[in-house]
Structure 1
Amino acid sequence: MTEPVAVTGLGLLTPAGESTDATWGGVCRGAGTASHDPALAGLPVDISCRVPLARDALDRRVGRAAWRMSRNAVLAVLAAREAVHDAGLDPRAWDGDRVAVVIGCGMGAGAEREEQAGRLRELGADMVSALTVPQIIPNMAAGEVSIDLGARGPGLAPSTACASGATAVAVARDLLLLGRCDIAVAGATEAAVTPLTVTGFWRAGSLSRHTDAPAGAPRPFAAGRDGFVPAEGAGVLVLERTGHAAARGARVRARLVGCGSTSDAHHPTAPAPDGRGAEAALRAALADADLAPHDVGHVNAHGTSTLLGDAGEAALIARVLPHRPGVTAPKGVLGHSLGAAGAVEAALTVLTLQHGTVPPVANLDAPAPGFDIDCVTKEPRRQDVRIAVSHSFGFGGHNVVLVLARA
């Protein structure tokens, strides 16, 4: 089957806002959301980007089932509900056997894991929660979304580090095109801003040390970049075959027309220096969409604000897309939500296509010397974007590129 796939619904919870509209507004304003985090007090890096809702507020939105869920799962359930509502769907009326759920996750429920490990160490085995395993296993966000929506079709939980969200969207498209489902609820979640995780990234040299001015710390493609700011969040898209969406009169926000996925096979954490794997993913995605590089009008970059990552991605864009499409990098505003980032950024790419607006890269005056790319800076750029690509790259050498087209 080669029928295009329609994006009919979006759901976002990010540090820029509690909904899709709020997140889009925050990203377009281009102001960083990083701040000092009391949960990280005393660590060498104590800044993060948090969803602006405390756990009790999130639980009230979820309802009675929240008692058994990790924060990770709660974010996924709320984003999925928003996406399904945005798509004009009612889980009480659909055929749940034909609804797939594909929710990725990079780290799993970090806070719950660390809390229960502390209980075991300090209080003994009897004080460890019986919910520990179902809370911390990384597939449970997908499981809780399926339960919440009554979705009984394929249920998957891809884990490809910081490419998990994009992988989930690509896998969901495959399920639709193979006829395994009629509706796919796809995306990713992450709530891993914990002392252990943050310390691990600090020890790996991945985090920004600009803790004196947190909001300005993430600086994608800037000369002064020195690492990312850890974040949490969730992004979910509702996908349908175009014919299915048309038959029920659904609004189509954009079309997912191509996906490409490769592995560097090079190093656990460092990208391949020649960028060959990432380039292959981009070219494969364009070939899958039957498009040429010059068709691309916008790049939603992975743009983590790391030295090696941004340099490699800038070189990739300049090499494959020399016509200089407009580039944005949402992590300047949102921080790096790890496994959720690819899904969040896919949703933002949909909004760029729909609104004809490319958000600016926060904390960037101009790309670093030698980066021959056209980054949008200072304010949103009005642009008639017809084709856009969204890049996601993860530890382990995972490369995923999505190609989206205006509806």
Structure 2
Amino acid sequence: MKRVVITGAGTINALGHSVSETFAAMREGVCGIGPLDVRDVDRLQIKIGGQVKGFEAEGRYNRQQMSLYDRFTQFTLAAAREAIEQSGLVFNGELAVRSGVVLGTAGGGVSTWDDNYRAVYEEGKNRVHPFVVPKLMNNAAASHVSMEWNLKGPSYTVSTACASSNHAMAQAFAMVRSGMAPAMITGGSESMLCFGGVKAWEGLRVMSRDACRPFSANRNGMVQGEGAGIFVFEEYEHARARGAEILCEVAGFSMTSDASDIVMPSKNGAARAISGALADARIAGSDVGYINAHGTGTAANDKTECAAVADVFGAHADRLMISSTKSMHGHLIGGTGAVELLACIMALRDGVIAPTIGYQEPDPECALDVVPNEARDAKVDVVLSNAFAFGGMNAVIALRNI
């Protein structure tokens, strides 16, 4: 088995258009959630979200590209450029042939779906653009990344609701660890903040109208976000031989299924995923210093996740720091695990633990150190990133300093 490291990171989300901007916002506990700027927002009950502001696609992409790139693809390509440029990798020859892309998204081209349903059903048009299908398909972003950077190895998209990015990164990790690929581009993206995307989530009655307050007793639901997080996973010796800057090591992962309910989370399923990641990484629970929680801000998720952490870590749970950055950037659905991995990298590299902002009232069922409201300086060497999705799909990734 090969060791796997991260040599590049890129992002665009409600907190920033780059990793450095995102880190700065996380350190300051900035809230990227605000009023939505979407068509027909007055018809929505939920009018807030972690929306990416100031992103001008027209200046980045030409007319032909715009006909092919849904907003989730645009985000992916922007984040991928930052990550690949930081890594210093140039994909040609054997490296190009063996390297690939595994990305996560839950909805794919939701904005494209929304626009074209309007055209057909509301405006009465009988034709849509000939590139609607390649624009909205879930694998569009992965395909365009592979074409843009000449990646000819295994490339595909994973769609497991809110665990999509963690599942995708776990798959990329497994490919590099096994020797199947020397490097993989991985992460995820989502852009559901359009009228239809928000309206669909309204139907679940799990959305907050004012703020995302994970673990706080007065929490009242989740808040959607959008954006992308992209990483370069590379075989350790390959990275070391070329003198690459190494951000951290990907140590292990685990994936489980609750096999119980389509929307209600399971403590046992989450606990098995956490325990499995520790076992795969050969890490003792007492070595973990920080967990980036799934932490959606719903009553069911937060207490279930805290119970799972308490079960797995026992007495050490009281010494663990666990925070939810969804309180700042919103829930990016299929892209959320990728953006949240940035908080894990920041904890390892910079010794800064991103806070859970909006925390107001202690909840006896969430009685862990949730790093309330303000970032904390702390040295940690091992961190976990949790993702627990609708459908009972769980994926946990372990990272450590190298």
- Asked if TM exceeds 0.5, the reply is yes
Which of 318, 330, 352 matches 2:310? 318
Corresponding residue number in structure 1 for 2:51: 50
How far did 1:125 drift? 5.1
Q: Secondary structure at the residue paired with 1:370?
A: helix
Equivalent runs, 1:214-225 vs 2, <5 Å: 217-225=211-219
Corresponding residue number in structure 2 for 1:374: 369
How far did 1:63 drift? 4.9
**1:315-353, CA deviations, whole angstroms, 9 ceiling, x for partnerless residues?**
112222232311111000001010000111112211210
How far did 1:90 drift? 2.9
The answer to whether the 8 A contact 2:292-2:384 is kept is yes
Which of 297, 308, 320 matches 2:289? 297
1:344 and 2:345 aligned: no
**1:92-136, CA deviations, whole angstroms, 9 ceiling, x for partnerless residues?**
688311211011101111111011111112444543111111111
Corresponding residue number in structure 2 for 1:269: 263
How far did 1:280 drift? 0.4
* RMSD, aligned CA: 1.5
**1:264-304, CA deviations, whole angstroms, 9 ceiling, x for partnerless residues?**
011111112xx101100000100001112111111110100
Equivalent runs, 1:2-401 vs 2, <5 Å: 3-39=2-38, 40-54=41-55, 57-63=56-62, 65-91=65-91, 95-124=95-124, 126-210=126-210, 217-272=211-266, 275-321=267-313, 322-323=315-316, 324=318, 325-365=320-360, 367-401=362-396
More deviation, 178-187/162-171: 178-187
Q: Secondary structure at the residue paired with 1:162?
A: helix
How far did 1:314 drift? 1.2
Q: Secondary structure at the residue paired with 2:387?
A: strand
Distance 1:179-1:92 versus aligned 2 partners, 3 A rule: closer
**1:2-36, CA deviations, whole angstroms, 9 ceiling, x for partnerless residues?**
x2210111001010000011111111211222111
Q: Secondary structure at the residue paired with 1:50?
A: coil
**1:235-266, CA deviations, whole angstroms, 9 ceiling, x for partnerless residues?**
01100111111111111100000101000011
Distance 1:124-1:94 versus aligned 2 partners, 3 A rule: farther
How far did 1:366 drift? 5.4
1:41 alignment partner AA:
D
Q: Which runs of 5+ in 1 are unaligned?
A: 211-216
**1:143-164, CA deviations, whole angstroms, 9 ceiling, x for partnerless residues?**
1111111111100101111001
The answer to whether the 8 A contact 1:146-1:155 is kept is yes
User: Partners in 2 of 1:158 and 1:117 — Cα distance?
Assistant: 25
User: Partners in 2 of 1:293 and 1:62 — Cα distance?
Assistant: 46
The answer to whether the 8 A contact 2:48-2:209 is kept is no
**1:45-66, CA deviations, whole angstroms, 9 ceiling, x for partnerless residues?**
1111111234xx1342345634
1:13 alignment partner AA:
I
The answer to whether the 8 A contact 1:392-1:399 is kept is yes
The answer to whether the 8 A contact 1:185-1:236 is kept is yes
User: Partners in 2 of 1:279 and 1:364 — Cα distance?
Assistant: 24
User: Partners in 2 of 1:67 and 1:204 — Cα distance?
Assistant: 32
Distance 1:51-1:93 versus aligned 2 partners, 3 A rule: farther
Q: Which runs of 5+ in 2 are unaligned?
A: none
User: Partners in 1 of 2:7 and 2:335 — Cα distance?
Assistant: 19
2:290 alignment partner AA:
H
Q: Secondary structure at the residue paired with 2:173?
A: helix
Q: Secondary structure at the residue paired with 2:249?
A: strand
Identity across the alignment (%) = 33
Q: Secondary structure at the residue paired with 2:364?
A: coil
User: Partners in 1 of 2:368 and 2:123 — Cα distance?
Assistant: 55
**1:364-393, CA deviations, whole angstroms, 9 ceiling, x for partnerless residues?**
145422322111123221111000000001
User: Partners in 2 of 1:218 and 1:225 — Cα distance?
Assistant: 7
User: Partners in 2 of 1:367 and 1:332 — Cα distance?
Assistant: 16
State the TM-score, normalizing by the size of structure 2: 0.95
Q: Secondary structure at the residue paired with 1:95?
A: helix
How far did 1:394 drift? 0.8
State the TM-score, normalizing by the size of structure 1: 0.94
